Structure 1
Amino acid sequence: MKKKQASRRLIVIGASVGGPATILSLIRELPESTPGIIIVQHLCKGFAAHMADYLDTYCAMKVKEGRNGEMVLSGTVYLAGGDRHLKVVKRGGIYYLTYEDGARINGVRPAVDVLFSSAACAGADAMGIILTGFGKDGAQGLLDMRRAGAYTIVQRAESCASSSMPTEAKKTGGAQMELAPHKITACMVLFSEQP
């Protein structure tokens, strides 16, 4: 297997209720050439590593719990773990993961809003996706990404277990597109193939 390269682009995903099954449907067919994907899924503390192991068995991409200070590599999916906020930072043209303490945002930690707002540093080299979930986490962060030039997508309400996260993101103005999961995957592939 060839050595993975630092990812030139980022895909960030936020989800809550109904998220694990939807995430699996999105990423299971993605090739190893896909840019690095960073996910905040609202989970009980301690479950991120188990979810990462489960997803990894079905995917061509490597799925793992993200570690503090880790470089974002192409062909790799990073799941936020622990009870800390996960951010992405850009240094010397390379993206890194960083965890930090802080108050709960929208009642949760890690929060989608924190990850998405930090991913705005990638501008048009980022894609933000809000999937099924309850509450409004991610709405402001997706708007920050859109304002920075990123591609922004929310899951269609009819395909959600709970549609309030995508709906709130639409209300805030952060969503460019509202798509069913299989069409989101197609957009991810197109985004990956851009020169």
Structure 2
Amino acid sequence: MNKIKVLVVDDSITIRNILTSILAQEAEIEVVGEAEDPFDAREKIKQLNPDVLTLDVEMPKMDGLTFLSNLMRLRPMPVVMLSTLTTKGADTTLTALELGAVDYITKPDAGALLAQQDDFKHTLVSKLKDAAGINLKSLKLSKSLSEKPDGQILPFSGIGRRNHLIAIGASTGGTEAIKSILMRLPSTSPAVVITQHIPVTFSARFASRLNACCQMAVQEARHGQKIHPGNVYIAPGDKHLKIEQKNGASFCLLEDSPEVNRHKPSVDVLFDSLQSVAGNIQAVLLTGMGQDGARGMLNLKQQGARTLIQNQASSLVWGMPGKAYALNAHTEQYPLTEMAAALLDFASLKRGQVKEVSNVIE
């Protein structure tokens, strides 16, 4: 098996040395070179033809975002950003994902990185392997869908059933996949609840950025918040999001309990909280690494929910939806370009019509 060729791009020689040392321990990865700035990186990409780049956001001579934008225009390739856990770092990283970066990893300072080397190595290696295996056509599709052309909002005849809810789970590649769906939904759409694997310092900024470009009102979920149509509720990056039914209404509950499937928030936690109202739920699994959400989706399907997965061809990483597919947890699968329309079409059905459609699906 050919090794994954990695080029490490960072202005700090200390960080470059640490990353190179960590990756040298991995049999399936070879660091083919290091670059201290974007101009150095540009030449080494030509010489070494790497499979994946690790790219620091803040560098001299040319900032990481400008370099990334040029790279994706001239020579698209998988890039994993190294970013800081700050508000500024969140905005920069989310912009990098919009520009075409596959994923990101939070970069502690050199001392902390050495102390947390095992955890950091596991995360870094997993992300680089997933990045190396992505379909570049899917990467280009994700980037193009996040750009809002005129007339993209879909027509919608109105919600057919009271308290109808759309629940979405995603991980790697999910920020742009979610954005591409929400940007097509009108303000009269059913409420949407979302668990995206994302750090706590990123989730509020992610919600704010979506709110600025979508017709629906997008916010980070608050504990005890009542759910209303036309609104999107995103799990904070350090809490599980559950949905509670009370007196004929739905409410967001935030829970600071242990990780599930190595994640907090976890998609399985969200999906499992919806089992009692599964018949009025559309559950969606989008692109993402791992298996979080697959088992919860199967449980929802068995309770009568409509369960949709993003198809492999349009997924950056077909881990989570692929696991759901392997479990036969889905009722349908769609390319990302068709997901929003599929959700709205079903949301407009009356209860009797849903039963007819469910019979056809089964």
When normalised by structure 2's length, the TM-score is: 0.51
For residue 230 of structure 2, the aligned residue among 47, 61, 75 is: 75
For residue 326 of structure 2, the aligned residue among 158, 171, 175 is: 171
* Bigger Rg, structure 1 or 2: 2
Q: Contact 2:198–2:237 (CA<8 Å) still a contact in 1?
A: no
User: Residue 95 in 1 paired to residue 250 in 2?
Assistant: yes
In the alignment, structure 2 segments of 5+ residues that lack a partner are 1-161, 351-362
Q: Cα offset for 1:173?
A: 2.1
The alignment partner of 2:168 has SS state of: strand
The alignment partner of 1:153 has SS state of: strand
Deviations 1:101-134 (A, max 9, x none): 2211110001000001112222221000000000
Q: In structure 1, what is the equivalent of residue 310 of structure 2?
A: 155
**RMSD, aligned CA:** 1.1
Q: In structure 2, what is the equivalent of residue 135 of structure 1?
A: 290
Q: Contact 1:156–1:179 (CA<8 Å) still a contact in 2?
A: yes
| Identical-pair percentage | 34
More helix by percentage: 2
Q: In structure 2, what is the equivalent of residue 146 of structure 1?
A: 301
In the alignment, structure 1 segments of 5+ residues that lack a partner are 1-6
Aligned residues: 189
Q: Cα offset for 1:182?
A: 2.0
Q: Distance in 2 between the 1:60 and 1:120 partners?
A: 29
Q: Mean Cα displacement is larger for which, 144-153 or 129-138?
A: 144-153
Q: Distance in 2 between the 1:48 and 1:62 partners?
A: 15
User: Residue 35 in 1 paired to residue 190 in 2?
Assistant: yes
Q: Which amino acid aligns with 2:325?
A: K
User: Residue 64 in 1 paired to residue 211 in 2?
Assistant: no
Q: Contact 1:85–1:100 (CA<8 Å) still a contact in 2?
A: yes
When normalised by structure 1's length, the TM-score is: 0.94
Deviations 1:53-76 (A, max 9, x none): 111111110000000001110000
Deviations 1:12-60 (A, max 9, x none): 0000000011111111121122111000000122211100011111111
Q: Distance in 2 between the 1:121 and 1:19 partners?
A: 27
Q: Contact 2:199–2:238 (CA<8 Å) still a contact in 1?
A: no
Q: Which amino acid aligns with 2:332?
A: M
Q: In structure 2, what is the equivalent of residue 113 of structure 1?
A: 268
Q: Distance in 2 between the 1:82 and 1:163 partners?
A: 22
Q: Contact 2:210–2:218 (CA<8 Å) still a contact in 1?
A: yes
The alignment partner of 1:182 has SS state of: helix
The alignment partner of 2:242 has SS state of: strand
Q: Contact 2:242–2:252 (CA<8 Å) still a contact in 1?
A: yes
Q: Contact 1:9–1:122 (CA<8 Å) still a contact in 2?
A: no
Q: Distance in 2 between the 1:140 and 1:160 partners?
A: 19
Q: Which amino acid aligns with 2:331?
A: Q
Q: Contact 2:197–2:237 (CA<8 Å) still a contact in 1?
A: no
Q: Which amino acid aligns with 1:143?
A: L
For residue 241 of structure 2, the aligned residue among 78, 86, 89 is: 86
Kindly report structure 1 stretches of 4+ aligned residues shifted beyond 6 Å: none
Deviations 1:121-160 (A, max 9, x none): 2222100000000000000111111111111000011111
Q: In structure 2, what is the equivalent of residue 3 of structure 1?
A: none
Q: Mean Cα displacement is larger for which, 116-125 or 20-29?
A: 116-125
Q: Distance in 1 between the 2:188 and 2:303 partners?
A: 25
For residue 337 of structure 2, the aligned residue among 157, 182, 185 is: 182
Q: Distance in 1 between the 2:171 and 2:283 partners?
A: 15
Q: Contact 1:84–1:101 (CA<8 Å) still a contact in 2?
A: yes
